[in-house]
Amino acid sequence: MRLGIALPQYGPLATIDAVTGFATAVEELGYESLWVGDRVLAPVSPSDFYPGGTPERPYPPEFVTFADPLILLTAAASVTKKVRLGTSTLTGTVYPAVLLARMLTSLDQVSGGRLDVGLGTGWLRDEYTATGTPWQGRGKQLEELLDVLREFWTGDPVEHEGARWRIPASKVGLRPVQAPHPPVLLGGLSPAALDRVGRRADGWLPAGPPATYLAKLWKTVTDTAEKAGRDPGALRRVLRINPKPDTELKDVAAQLDAAAETGITEAFVDPHYLARDVAHALELAAELRTLVPND
């Protein structure tokens, strides 16, 4: 199991000046990837509840303080050498496509080709409202974003004419280190999201349900990939584990073992609901690394 961990980013762990120290420490512990999430805002009266939310607690209170994901990855890239750097997931549709393409390409350059681009459509309509993004048709917008990214990474000149974005023919000298482009991983559990992974992505970012259920969904992804003429064996799965408060690390290790039994070879753990602060998060990371040793 290639094990990663989420960078300190939100809630009590959003101590920005501690990110570089955390990144270097967990790389030394043998973690193989660092991850960030994406929240634009925490509405007072939200349009939607976070999965599992209630009127009294519509989303985790930690979301009130949330640092920018790409800035954190840039900081981590500057002090690490080997770990992969991933987003799980960027709400890609709320960003101007060409600006996001430039930022991601620059980050791949800064990191020396260590970027994994995880994208999704999010769950909160208020974020779409705040960024002037249409909520309806967000799946099609994500498809168009994928078109723009690939064109930006491989086109010469770059040109795009779509339902949401238009890019006049332009020269783009900036190119990612990874050829032909950084791996694009997509989140989501719906039939449409799984279909998109199989048709368009380099891998899947599952989270939430038990590993046995995720294995059934993975069959949908691989079947779709095969029908599309793609190699299912080339697709990655990177499992995100979000332990609830007071979860014991031995139980997290058991989740990782169960995932490995279903064929998952990459995973990362988000310590934000377990740790009191960044120092505590690092202690937990060290303990978990002893429970899930490197191969």
CB 205 within 8 A of CB 238: yes
Write the secondary structure of the chain as one string of H (helix), E (strand) and C (coil). Answer: CEEEEECCCEHHHCCHHHHHHHHHHHHHHCCCEEEECCCCCCCCCCCCCCCCCCCCCCCCHHHHCECCHHHHHHHHHHHCCCCEEEECCEEHHHCCHHHHHHHHHHHHHHCCCCEEEEEECCCCHHHHHHCCCCCCCHHHHHHHHHHHHHHHHHCCCEEEECCCCEEEEECCCCCCCCCCCCCEEEECCCHHHHHHHHHHCCEEECECCCHHHHHHHHHHHHHHHHHCCCCHHHCEEEEEECCCCCCCHHHHHHHHHHHHHCCCCEEEECCCCCCCCHHHHHHHHHHHHHHCCCC
CA distance 120 to 37: 11
CATH of span 2-291: 3.20.20.30
pLDDT tens-digit series, residues 229-282 = 999 999 999 999 999 999 999 999 999 999 999 999 999 999 999 999 999 999
pLDDT tens-digit series, residues 38-97 = 999 999 999 999 998 999 999 999 999 999 999 999 999 999 999 999 999 999 999 999
pLDDT at site 158: 95
CA distance 75 to 163: 35
CA distance 70 to 87: 8
Tokens of 247: 């979860």
Strand partners, 293: none
Largest CA distance in the chain: 54
Band of pLDDT at residue 16, cut at 50, 70 and 90? confident
Strand partners, 207: 240
Reported pTM: 0.96
pLDDT at site 293: 81
User: Residue 114: pLDDT above 70?
Assistant: yes
Mean pLDDT, range 92-120, rounded to an integer: 98
Cα of first residue to Cα of last residue in the chain, in angstroms, is 8
Residue that is written with structure tokens 């961990």 in the block: 5
pLDDT at site 208: 85
Collect all residues with Cβ–Cβ distance below 8 Å to 229 and sequence separation of at least 6: none
User: Residue 166: pLDDT above 90?
Assistant: yes
Where do the domains of the chain lie?
2-291
| Cβ-defined contacts of 216-223 (< 8 Å, 24+) | 217/189, 218/262, 218/263, 220/191, 220/194, 220/195, 221/194, 221/197, 222/198, 223/198
User: Residue 295: pLDDT above 90?
Assistant: no
pLDDT tens-digit series, residues 177-224 = 999 999 999 999 999 999 999 999 999 999 988 989 999 999 999 999
Within 10 A of 162 (CB to CB), how many other CB atoms are there?
A: 15
